[in-house]
Amino acid sequence: MTITKYNGRELYESIGRPKTIVAPMVDQSELAWRILSRRYGAELCYTPMYHARLFATDEKYRKRMWSSLDGDEKVDRPLIVQFCANDPEYLLKAAQLVEDKCDAVDLNLGCPQGIAKKGKYGAFLMDDWELVHKLILNLHENLKIPVTAKIRVYDEWEKSLEYAKMVLDAGAQFITIHGRTRDMKGQATGLANWEILKYLRENLGEDQVFFANGNILYANDLKRCSELIGCDAVMSAEGNLYNPGVFWTKDDNIDKQFARVDKMLREYFEIVKECESHASRTAMKAHFFKILHAFLVKHPELRPIIGQTSVHESFEKWDEVVQKVERIVEEIYERPDIKEVDVIRDGPIQSWGGFYKEIPYWRCQPYFRTVNGEKQNTRTLKVAATKDTDKDIKDKDIKDKEAKEDIKDKDDIKDNKRRLEEVSSSNKKMAL
């Protein structure tokens, strides 16, 4: 098959102008998950982040990560394969092994984890622009297919813009920008800054293909993000990981946007059995836990059952786990009030422009970290690339708390005054 090496907008058009994208996630955006996500509205998928040197030199590693169905024209396209790297030649060799089975190769410049710092790749290449340029340029000049890149922002908007321009000048045809800084991870994740993404979009040229990443909780966030930033498409990592229905925008079908966990689990499990992918099999347990994260809070008895079942256990054994979930959910749907409780409710508009939803625990839904004993969706979060510091956020929390206490004190005073007036009036009547 003849491969045409498209540039930028041509490449975007050639893969169908996708609007919804499954992010590259370490060991989590593997083949089975991509197949599932496409059924729920994902129009473009990235592979997990592969280690370029290992992929190029270690056949055992490569076979664990990549199967004959990865990149298959019928089940796994359009597809972008992502690598982390710090050596231009190893990166090129790895990319050449997959260039016939994907639409582009992406360089990971956004991974903020400690292992990336130790290995000097991902977001920790933000300190070495010269190396970043060499990595991208070498692919651009020697690969049969295009190269793309995924980056994070700096606190400084101008520096973020210069960095993005350098990445594009080196040869990246698409750019995906995660609206968080390198330090924002785990307990300090906070909120992505859509305003800086809008600024970057507006200053990178009208024809530049631009994907936005960060803050996608529900399907309605996709439109909000796209309209504010003006991006070509929206990428989701964690949102998709806990609920593949986050990409469903064709209608408001509750069973697509917030599928029952028993239905989603069964559908995903059947895909894993069919695709014969080592990476998909080993990722299965992690996906079970994420699909069921809210459900397990109400049914913790399932947690040790899943945890103690090896990923190498027979499919028959895993099918028993799926059946346990199915039986519990079926019992829920036998409740006489199921129509009243099986609904999605929108919460009030938040300071960041969106809102949280109340979703029954038996349906797929976003995950919110607990920070200092408080759920992220109940506290003020730091926004990336703003002047707000952790101290500012803490001070605001204290002021908000003091304001609430002040209101409560004033209400108590009013109540006490009213009671005293009532007692006084009662005493006067008795005296008469």
- Give residue for tokens 């370490």: 26
Cα of 238 vs its chain's centroid, Å: 3
C-alpha closest to that of 184 among 393, 383, 396, 387: 383
Burial 68-98 (b: 16+ CB within 10 A, else e): ebbbeeebbbbbbbbbbbbbbebbbebbbeb
Cβ neighbors of 74 (< 8 A, separation 6 or more) are none
Catalytic residues: 111
Q: Are 237 and 263 in contact (CB under 8 A)?
A: no
Burial 273-298 (b: 16+ CB within 10 A, else e): eebebebbbebbbebbebbbbbbbee
C-alpha distances (whole Å) from 101 to each of 38, 54, 112, 144, 283 are 18, 19, 28, 11, 22
C-alpha closest to that of 176 among 203, 205, 149, 208: 149
Q: What stretch of H or E contains 2?
A: none
- Supply the DSSP string of 169-221, one letter for each residue: HTT-SEEEEESS-TT--GGG--B--HHHHHHHHHHS-TTSEEEEES---SHHH
